[in-house]
Structure formats: C-alpha cells, structure tokens
Amino acid sequence: MATKATQAASAAKAAAAKAAKTAQAARAAAKTAKTAKTAKTVSTGAAGPTDYDAIIVGGGHNGLVAAAYLARSGARTLVLEARPKTGGAATTEAPWPDAPDFKVTRLSYVMSLLPPTIIKDLQLDKHGYKIFPMGPYYQAFPEGGSIKLYADDAKRNHDEVSRWSRKDADAMPRWDAWLAGLADVLGPLLLTVPPNLGSRKPRDLEQTLRLAWRHRGLDVRTIADMTRLMTMSIADLLDDWFESPQVKGALAVNGVIGTWAGPYEPGTAYVMAHHSIGDVGDGHLGNWGFQEGGMGAVADAIAKAARENGAEIRTDARVNQILLSGGRAQGVVLGNGQQLTAKVVVTSLHPRSAFLDHVGRQNLPDDFVQDIEHWKTRSGVVKINLALAELPDFTADPGTNLAEHHTGSVEMAPSMPYIERAFQDAREGRPAARPFSDGVIPTAFDQTLCPEGYHIMSLFTQWVPSDWSEQPHTEELQAYADRMIDCYNEVAPNFKSSILHTDIVGPYQMEHDYGLIGGNIFHGELSLEQLFHMRPAPGFADYRTPVPGLYYASSATHAGGGVCGIPGMQAARAAIADRRGPARARRRPRRS
Ligand SMILES: Cc1cc2nc3c(=O)[nH]c(=O)nc-3n(C[C@H](O)[C@H](O)[C@H](O)COP(=O)(O)OP(=O)(O)OC[C@H]3O[C@@H](n4cnc5c(N)ncnc54)[C@H](O)[C@@H]3O)c2cc1C
C-alpha cells in the first residue's frame, strides 16, 4: 500500500534499486532454499496421529513456550496454529509483493521482558535468539531542538536534560533510582503465580501468606511508592518529578503504549513501569532491543526449541472447539471436523475465543462467564511499517548517515498534552488528528531485513477509535497514516519523500488476521482491574481454568502482555505439576 505522495518517490528509487536487486537475487535464492529447509520440519494441515499427552491451541510465542516446556517434560505435545505460520503477534513478514526483499516485524517490534530463565531453559541463543540493545529515546521537537534519553548513561542523560531544564537534569538520577527500587519489587512479581486472594481454602491462604512473607522487608515508604505507581496517572507522577514539557513527553510514552487511556488516566503510571522493568539479558534495567531477523525470529527460535524437545507443530490447523468429557478437557475439534485427544489442553488465545467460543458458556461457571464477557480489550493501535530509501534527516540533528539518534526509539510524542489530545480525539470517536508514535529503525543494526542502503521503520501509533476493530476503515487508516507521516516530516523534511512502501495494520486486521480481539495488543488491557490476581478472572489467575485439564497461557494472564513467554512457561508448569501429582489437581469451583 504505497501512499500517493510516495508513489513518485517509489518510481524514482526503483531504478536505483534495480542494480542492487540483481546482486540480491542470488542472496535471496540462497535464503529461500534455507527457509524451505527449515519450514520442512513444520507439519501443515491435520495429518498425523490423533492422540497426544498435551495439545496447545495457538502457535503464538506463548503457545510455543508452553509446548517447549511440556515436550521437555516428556509429554507428547502438539501445537495447533490457525495461520500458515507460527508466531502470532511476534511475526516477521514481507508485506510488499513487489519488494519481497523488504521484511518488517509487522506487529510487535522490540524485546525486553523475556526472562533469562526461559532463554536458558530453552537454549534460545542456540536457536537464533540474538538481540541488539537499542539506542536512546529520541524526540525532535516541531518547535526546534531535540532530546535523547539513555537507559544506562547518567552523565549523558544529565547533559541532554540540562538543555531543557537544569532542575530536571538533577532530578533524573533520583527518578532512575526510584524506578529501579520499584522494579526490584515488581520484577520478581512478574514471575510469581498470583494467589487466589480472598479465598479461605488452606492452600490459597498459605500462598497468600507466603507472598506477604516474601515482601515482609518492604517499608512504609516503598509500600506508599507502590501505591502511587499502581493508582496514579503517568502525567501526575511525572508532574511530581519534572517541570519541562519536553522531558515529561519523552518519559510519558511508556505509560500509554498499547493502552486505551491517555496520560492523565489513573493506572498509566503502572503501564510505564510494566514497560520499564524489562531487561534484554544485558543487565541494563529498562533497556530494550531488536531481535535479528525481527520478532518472527524470536518465535522461530522458540519453535525450534519446542521441536528439538519433540513437539509437533501443525500450521493451517484452526481449532473450533475444546472437547470435554465428564467436565474435563479431552482434546480439540479442528475446523475440518477432525478430533484430536489429549489429557492436557493448553489454550493461548484471547479469553473470548478460548472460553466463550471454544469451551462454551454452558460449560463454565456463570460468574466466570460474566468476568470474561466484561474483559476489556480495546487499544486503538495502528501499526505502520515503512520501507525507506534513506534515514530521516532531522533538522535538529542533520544528516542521513546512521547516527545515534536513529538507533533507539524515534518518537513523535513531543509533550503530554500532545499525547492526551491524540487520545481524546479517539475517545470522541475520531482518529487522532496528530497521532503519537513510538518509532524504531531496526535496520540501524539488523542487516537481514532489507537490501543494503535501505531501511525499515516501524511506527507503533495511537489512537483510532476503539470500535475500529469492527470495520476495516481502509481509507481513513490511509489518511491517518499520511497525517502520522506528516508529523515526522515536520521535524525531518526528507521523511515523506524517502518512503518507498507503506504497510498499515489497523485494529480490524489485528482482530481478523491475528486473533487480537478488539485490536488490543495484549489480549486484554493492562488496566488495574485486569492485573495480577484479576488476570484473566478472579480465582483463575494461576494459569488453570474452571475446566480441569484445560490450562491458560495467553497474554491475558499475569505477566502478559508482551513477548515475555511467562504465561506459556507458567501454564506448562501448572500442567506438568498436575500431571505428576493428583494432590495438586484442580478443584472446582476455585472461588470461595
Ligand atoms: C502492534 C503490536 C505491537 C506490539 N509491540 C510489542 C513490542 O514491541 N514488544 C513486546 O514485548 N510486545 C509487543 N506487543 C505485544 C505482544 O506482541 C503480544 O502480547 C504477544 O505477542 C502475544 O503472544 P501470545 O502468544 O500470548 O498470543 P498471540 O501472539 O496472539 O498468539 C496466539 C496465536 O493463536 C492463533 N490462533 C488464533 N485463533 C486460533 C484458533 N482458533 N486455532 C488455532 N490457532 C489460533 C493465532 O493465529 C496466534 O498465532 C505488540 C503487539 C501488537 C499487536
């Protein structure tokens, strides 16, 4: 989908690209042969055995993690993926048929939250998991000037922020230390199975007390800070710390990523923390990185680990129903009517698909059904992927040669009021007139995504109205993308003319092509009432479900969303524990 404005540029660049393409053809042919070799190991269709120990519904990264752990435990494991390829929202694709050498990481775009435990257990490094830590946050301001913020360089942060406010520069190390202190509390919680709060059953009480005991070292001040973090808006929180609109705009971005809420909404401070506590394995708090080969390569690495452990993966294998017998999960029914049986079924789909469509309301407790019906799943995100003939030439930092400001987040979030206006437009039912964007240029490091001399830029943008998941809104999305591009063009005047190809993925396509209901990027909003023991429903946050034998591994469980694999690992652990010991078998109903 090239914009009209960029078609002329596309034609002009085509001639220049032709020579380069001849040389690339040989490389591409070699790569195609290699890909075909890898793909051969993925079974397609519904052929094969019909009885397994464990069946995984959905071959997104969480389903694949669950499969790898279950297979590693000795279970005969099958993954069923509806699409022609695995990965779900962690996918690398070539969206332009006339430019097959240009690949984009089509939905998710950066790594941070995958814990070292999973990387080590599944030996992902061996299977192609390779991260380039990304550079600083960069914002060029329409009124002139720019700012860079570094995840791990206090001295340079001070210099940068001083250009906008000396007071903010002095506050920055205290802010970083404050966040690091809270991350020490929140980080381990991500790997904690939430207890069944409110239940008086001895085992549940024991787990609640154990969690309280683990946090006995917390003092009054830390509890107060945690309370602030969980309840405040990112705007109010930043107002307490900083004065410069430029600094606050840059720091607010993580508070609204993927969220159906502007920076003035309570709870957005926590969203900022969720996106700030990750560590790509290099020990730098809050640092993010680019996977070589795009996010699809993360899923591919996990799939390889699953297969190496003995799991079978079938693509083009849509599941239509979870089979029940005597109230227990017994297997699945595929779209073609074939039945496959297993004593353990792990589903990694959005809660509505997993429970209301596949299990059926009549087979679930009424209050659980009501909780899933009330599950909030909006976000108004539009992903815009671009192929560029050259790097953006920012007025504030001139040049099209690769520079540090191209290597991190290239933001369009110049102030909190700017971000808030974008949200208010969407809440009032219009796509944002001036959208906000978290942009990245992975090809600053990764040479595998496009021909040499060209670049891929990924714009994660917000917001369009939340009900745009119900209709394609194709023309309006095109106009929205053009406005987004205009915003960048104001600060980098070569931007528009450098665009060779444009790929726009809106909420409707996210829902219909990828199963992201409502276009929500995490299978469910990260709002306070949907976190920890409430994710996806009270009483069922331990990766088990009201149906014995059915486990839940989607991003709609605790520690999701994001490409973190924790839901997949925890669901597999629960299933493995239950297989080993009947004493740990699920009791239903769990709420009491
Ligand atoms: C635009 C966008 C940007 C994002 N950016 C980031 C980012 O930069 N970093 C980050 O960490 N996270 C990011 N996320 C979030 C992250 O990608 C998701 O939280 C995560 O990938 C979800 O993984 P999952 O395995 O839980 O689910 P999914 O990836 O949704 O996988 C579910 C799988 O089930 C399959 N399926 C659906 N229905 C059926 C059926 N009936 N039968 C069989 N299979 C079925 C789907 O095709 C899919 O493959 C982003 C998401 C989006 C959409």
pLDDT tens digits, one per residue of 544-576: 999 999 999 999 999 988 999 999 999 999 999
Q: Whose CA is nearest to atom 36 of ligand 1?
A: 58
DSSP structure string for 222-249: HHHHHHHHHHS-HHHHHHHH---HHHHH
Q: What is the pLDDT of residue 590?
A: 55
Structure tokens at 109: 């775009």
pLDDT of 236 higher than 80: yes
Q: Answer whether 566 contacts ligand 1 (Cβ < 6 A).
A: no
57 with 319: CB under 8 angstroms?
yes
Pocket perturbation via mutation, ligand 1, pick of 64, 108, 332, 558 by most ligand atoms within 8 A of CB: 108
Range with lowest mean pLDDT among 281-285, 419-423, 451-455? 281-285
pLDDT of 489 higher than 60: yes
363 to 328, 358, 366, 373, 537: CA distances (angstroms): 10, 10, 9, 15, 16
In whole numbers, what is the pLDDT of the chain averaged over residues? 89
Q: How far is the CA of 546 from the centre of ligand 1 (A)?
A: 23
Range with lowest mean pLDDT among 41-55, 84-98, 184-198, 560-574? 41-55
Range with lowest mean pLDDT among 274-288, 317-331, 536-550? 274-288
Q: Residue 230's closest CA among 181, 272, 270?
A: 270
Q: Answer whether 381 contacts ligand 1 (Cβ < 6 A).
A: yes
> CA-to-CA distance for 408 and 289, rounded, in angstroms?
9
> CA-to-CA distance for 402 and 446, rounded, in angstroms?
13
Q: What is the pLDDT of residue 591?
A: 56
- What does the pLDDT look like over 336-373, one tens digit per residue? 999 999 999 999 999 999 999 999 999 999 999 999 99
456 to 102, 303, 383, 386, 410: CA distances (angstroms): 8, 25, 13, 6, 13
Q: How far is the CA of 87 from the centre of ligand 1 (A)?
A: 7
Q: Residue 540's closest CA among 526, 516, 520, 558?
A: 558
Structure tokens at 66: 């669950």
> CA-to-CA distance for 202 and 200, rounded, in angstroms?
6
Q: Whose CA is nearest to atom 41 of ligand 1?
A: 319
The bridge status of strand 550-552 relative to strand 339-347 is parallel
Q: Which atom of ligand 1 is nearest to the CA of 357?
A: 41
Q: Residue 269's closest CA among 141, 390, 169, 416?
A: 416
Q: Identify the helix (H) or strand (E) that includes residue 105.
A: strand 104-105
Residue 592 pLDDT level (bands cut at 50, 70, 90): low
Q: What is the pLDDT of residue 276?
A: 78
Q: Whose CA is nearest to atom 38 of ligand 1?
A: 515
Q: What is the pLDDT of residue 30?
A: 38
pLDDT of 74 higher than 50: yes
